Chain A
């Protein structure tokens, strides 16, 4: 069919000029300044009352606010009366939207007690974001063990809890005993079935307002949608059998029978923006893995440590998983990061082995990764953000860069806010290299840089995403380049094979990794799975097998996510945006 021309609104303006104002101006008849300010404040009051203006916007820190996010907050509060599904496509900032709505409610004095339920892996991220961006000091179940702190659920006003913990037999009854003003549930596709404890917990919570967050709210069938909407507005879709009769095609649980009517109903509780709808484009990401052959000494250090950790862990001889994990991650970063932890463990590890490894570290004269890093830096101009997890590795790199005559600034924990701002300013205006620890610029804008180097690699993919998110986010206009360093034969090399080669993690959109991890059948963290494989492997063959298995699981999880994403796109199309 012939495509119609694009229509534009007819816009007309009419001005009203009250005589009371104009006559005074004409006569130059001025009143007091404070009354002028007050009249303006009173006029703004009406906008605040009708939610045309939000109170929270001025208070946000380091948050780039986009128009559609502001619209979402207004609609959720004004039109949805605080009970809604935030279903924006990944990468558009659902957490920011929810945070803004929480802050707005708090500032308006409409809520006091807030409970955020998130998957365990996201609890600390929520806490960090609420504090750094919204100045909201939530207490989380990562910080406090509510099992030991009897009055935790009753006492705290702002709680971020792992949903797994909250639904546990020990806590369920105590969590639901309290009344909340607002409950926020992240990744609500885990609430898809009414037989799950997740669903039962949220259903049992007493709360005036309820935010449900997920980029893919329904995954397998339309009844999941019924289950979510029933949490928000019981009865809107009537009973499950009536819902199925009216809205689900017979014999096909994924196809709506009455699409338009269903959409109308869903529109009452769900907002879903897509990038195309809100005209947000994210540039591409390009990733390169740089596998560095270790020097003989480096290889010896890594192998000896690996062997030692495996043996001690297997024997149950005083080396916990956490300590083992840390030692191996330090070794993957740089031998200098390993040195001090190893020295501290001299009592719990065989002294001879520790001394031998420390001796090898002392005999080192730099690292092969360091050499390759300098080569990479010297290859191209432009700003580069180098991430490193450990302070000792950062200090080593700082020496290395200084010796090579390269100008750089450091960004590390322990610096004051002013020092951090100064570092970012000088990275923006003067030097081309920012050497940053994990907290690199959280909440600070470094999008003027489009190249990131992971000198070491976190094992938790969400941590990697957080690093990438510093430069690859809405507002970045140039393609983003990511360089990942790892030593040949290290755990990081295996991890990169899974994340980069198998599922192309570095080319995903921010937020997608989280969705993929959520699709893994095991509840254990990716990091734990990696550690298990490493500790249990006796040979290279075992390692390859173990990581191949993990790669396949991740691939299946990714395919599952993509299938769901496509289905949700078809199901909701662009009809539920602001």
Chain B
């Protein structure tokens, strides 16, 4: 997203906060209420300038200025949620079967039928701010998009949406069906987690490297201590109780080493706090494709959307990890549609549904890690 110049941003926020702001070339002339003046550390009538060469009366504002710490308070509760509706776009209704067969691969089921209907569908675009805290800290903002009907996450949509390809209409558009917000939000959190993990790849690699280096140093240190004790046993030819005393020292060193390694791992463990900043609901007319899929005499209804903005079929979200998947399995228990990763135990490699069994494999007992 293109960054707004600092001056425009400050002007807009002050405006929203109820201040009187006048732009005068490179300057902003501001009249604020005593309350806001106190909050921002400004005079009630203030001149703000944004380029360092100007040495005139007033306050120079840069990205380092303290005023920016408190400026967000002027937003109060504004900007948490808004809606837009996309203008009517071309809807594909024919030859959808062909697209389905190209994009989807049903691994253990068969497609019985498909039909398409026109529907108004809605998407939630959610902005999350994350703070990843370990030995050092990294912060960022990510945006995820979730189809409120199918829970699909067509991330590609965002580049078009962020370009402003929509009308800011405030008309009420009836969205006929959408899932409960809890379900949508829960899917969004999963998608956000994947996205954040992806963004943190280099950060995590760097910390991993440091962790391993520190562990190697500690192991080196305790290894030397053990070698010294072993050498003492050899050199003095210790046997019996004397030898046992030294051997118990080695065991103590091992225990201490384990404790130190755990300490290091705790020290480096990464806690990621994610906070929802705001959201936008996007509605548009789309082709809703309803599939009937059969597995061992049981049938599942799966809804997908042909997205007119992407001009493509949205891949269904795996019910286990909520990542888009072109290949999916239906589980025997509940007919959950899951991606290959969520259909296999990483330990015994047997088929297992990780929606039905989120914690551990029912076949080998192996615990599942976060995916």
Contacts and interface: CB of A to CB of B under 8 A. Distances in A.
Whether chains A and B associate is yes
Interface of A: 1, 4, 6-18, 20-22, 24-26, 28-50, 52-53, 55, 58, 67-68, 108-110, 112, 277, 279, 578
Contacts of B265: 7, 9-10
Contact of B3 (A7, A16, A44, A578): A44
Interface of B: 1-4, 6, 9, 12-13, 16, 50-53, 60, 62-64, 68-69, 71-72, 75, 77-84, 124, 127, 129, 134, 138-141, 168, 170, 181, 185, 189, 192-193, 196-197, 202, 204-209, 211-212, 215-216, 219-220, 223, 261, 264-265, 268-281, 370
B274 A36 contact: no
A276 to B, nearest CB: 11
A25 B181 contact: yes
A31 B78 contact: yes
A135 to B, nearest CB: 15
Contacts of A11: 197, 204, 269-270, 272, 370
Nearest to B9: A41
A47 B80 contact: no
A36 B204 contact: no
Given A31-B82, A47-B140, 11 more contacts: A7-B265, A10-B269, A30-B82, A30-B281, A31-B80, A32-B79, A36-B280, A39-B79, A40-B1, A49-B64, A110-B52
A112 B134 CA distance: 36
B63 A49 contact: yes
The 10 A-B residue pairs with the shortest CB-CB distance, nearest first, are: A39-B79, A35-B79, A24-B81, A30-B83, A10-B269, A35-B78, A36-B82, A67-B202, A16-B275, A52-B139
A28 B212 CA distance: 49
Given A7-B265, A9-B268, A47 B79 contact: no
Contacts of B276: 15-18, 21-22
Q: Residue among B1, B81, B84, B216 with the most chain A CB within 10 A?
A: B81
Contact of B278 (A39, A50, A52): A39
B148 to A, nearest CB: 10
B63 A108 contact: yes
A140 B193 CA distance: 49
B116 to A, nearest CB: 26
A412 B275 CA distance: 52
Nearest to B268: A9
A35 B75 contact: yes
A33 B82 contact: yes
Nearest to B279: A25
A147 B139 CA distance: 50
B61 to A, nearest CB: 9
A36 B264 CA distance: 42
Contacts of B280: 33, 36
B20 to A, nearest CB: 18
A108 B281 contact: no
A44 B63 contact: no
Contacts of A28: 83, 281
B316 to A, nearest CB: 23
Contacts of A9: 134, 204, 207-208, 211, 265, 268-270
Nearest to A26: B181
Contacts of A20: 77, 80
A109 B181 contact: no
Contact of B271 (A12, A55, A67, A110): A12
A7 B215 contact: yes
A525 B2 CA distance: 44
A112 B188 CA distance: 44
B124 A25 contact: yes
B269 A12 contact: yes
A109 B64 CA distance: 10
Contacts of B52: 109-110, 112
B213 to A, nearest CB: 9
Given A24-B81, A30-B82, A31-B82, A17 B219 contact: no
A56 B37 CA distance: 32
A4 B140 contact: no
A109 B51 contact: yes
A17 B181 CA distance: 12
B129 A578 contact: no
Q: Residue among B168, B277, B281 with the most chain A CB within 10 A?
A: B277
Given A24-B80, A50-B139, A110-B62, A13 B272 contact: yes
A489 B64 CA distance: 63
17 contacts: A4-B219, A7-B208, A7-B261, A21-B278, A25-B281, A28-B281, A32-B82, A38-B75, A40-B141, A41-B4, A42-B13, A43-B72, A47-B141, A48-B63, A52-B138, A52-B140, A109-B52
Contact of A43 (B2, B141, B209, B211): B141
Nearest to A52: B139
A49 B63 CA distance: 6
B80 A16 contact: no
Contact of A38 (B16, B81, B261): B16
Given A13-B193, A33-B84, A52-B138, A42 B269 contact: no
Nearest to A36: B82
Nearest to B132: A11
A5 to B, nearest CB: 9
Nearest to A157: B53
A58 B3 CA distance: 8
A512 B8 CA distance: 45
A1 B275 CA distance: 45
Nearest to A68: B202
Contacts of B273: 14, 16
A191 B276 CA distance: 51
A7 to B, nearest CB: 5
A50 B137 CA distance: 11
A15 B207 CA distance: 22
Q: Residue among A31, A32, A38 with the most chain B CB within 10 A?
A: A38
Nearest to B202: A67
B127 A40 contact: yes
Contacts of A42: 9, 13, 71-72, 75
A268 to B, nearest CB: 16
Contacts of B4: 41
Contacts of B83: 28, 30
B62 A43 contact: no
B63 A39 contact: no
Contacts of A43: 72, 127, 129, 141, 277
A22 B50 contact: no
B223 A40 contact: no
Contacts of B205: 279
Q: Residue among B84, B185, B264, B281 with the most chain A CB within 10 A?
A: B185
Contacts of B275: 15-18
Contacts of A53: 140
A48 B6 CA distance: 11
Contacts of B79: 31-32, 35-40
B36 to A, nearest CB: 15
Contact of A13 (B139, B212, B264, B274): B274
A45 to B, nearest CB: 6
A10 B270 contact: yes
Contacts of A108: 62-64
Nearest to A21: B80
B53 A112 contact: yes
Q: Residue among A11, A33, A34, A108 with the most chain B CB within 10 A?
A: A11
B68 to A, nearest CB: 6
Contacts of B192: 15
Given A10-B270, A38-B75, A49-B68, A21 B279 contact: yes
Nearest to B170: A30
Contacts of B271: 12, 14
A28 B13 CA distance: 24
Contacts of B2: 58
Nearest to A42: B72
A420 B71 CA distance: 45
A476 to B, nearest CB: 20
Given A7-B211, A12-B271, A40-B127, A1 B223 contact: yes
